[in-house]
Amino acid sequence: MSAPYWEPFAAVPGLPGNVVPIQLRNPQMAANAGNSFPTVSALTAWEEWRWEFVQKQLGKVFGTARIPDNWPVTLQRVVLEVGANGTGATRLSVKTYAVVAGASYNPAALNAIAAQVVTISAARTRQVVSFTQAGETWHSGDLILVEVYHEGTDASDTLTVNTELLNAYLQVS
């Protein structure tokens, strides 16, 4: 098996600093099974792969990202790109856990970041939302475990279609 792939982006609009893609690996299966899933859509000029969260349901997607060695880490942020094939608001939250070399990747809990409500003003438009982690300290070389949580049963979640998770990044600088 090859080493995990990561590539820092020199420039992502609106994302200063070093950015590493989060490998979104799997949906939550122990609970809420089927409420988040990978899918492909045939759009006008291309086909898009993404994760979806079922409307008005709770769902989680888990992933990992490794901060490259020798990168300075002062900003600790998870950035999500989301959308929908409709309009309304979707409520999302994020949890993380930094795994240092030699430490367990089976923590008792992840560190929560406050939920946010994201407004989707037009169908198939990309919305960028940032979650800053202040509850733990990341370092270069750390493996960051990430949970993206769609809180679809919250009253503030008004989307009547599925929430689409297009991309996820770690942003550090």
pLDDT tens digits along 148-172 = 999 999 999 999 999 999 999 999 9
Alpha carbons within 13 angstroms on the beta-carbon side of residue 96 total 28
Domain that holds residue 27: 18-172
In a domain, 12, yes or no: no
In a domain, 158, yes or no: yes
CATH number at residue 145: 2.60.120.260
In a domain, 10, yes or no: no
* Closest to 143 measured CA to CA, from 2, 1, 20: 20
In a domain, 7, yes or no: no
In a domain, 152, yes or no: yes
In a domain, 74, yes or no: yes
pLDDT (mean) for 125-141: 96
pLDDT digits (tens, 9 = 90+) for 43-101: 899 999 999 999 999 999 999 999 999 998 989 999 999 999 999 999 999 999 999 99
Give every CB contact of residue 159 below 8 A, 6+ residues apart in sequence: 55, 84, 86, 87, 88, 89, 90, 120, 152
Percent of the chain past pLDDT 70, that is, above it, reads: 91
Domain count, the chain: 1
Tell whether the model's pLDDT for residue 20 goes beyond 70: yes
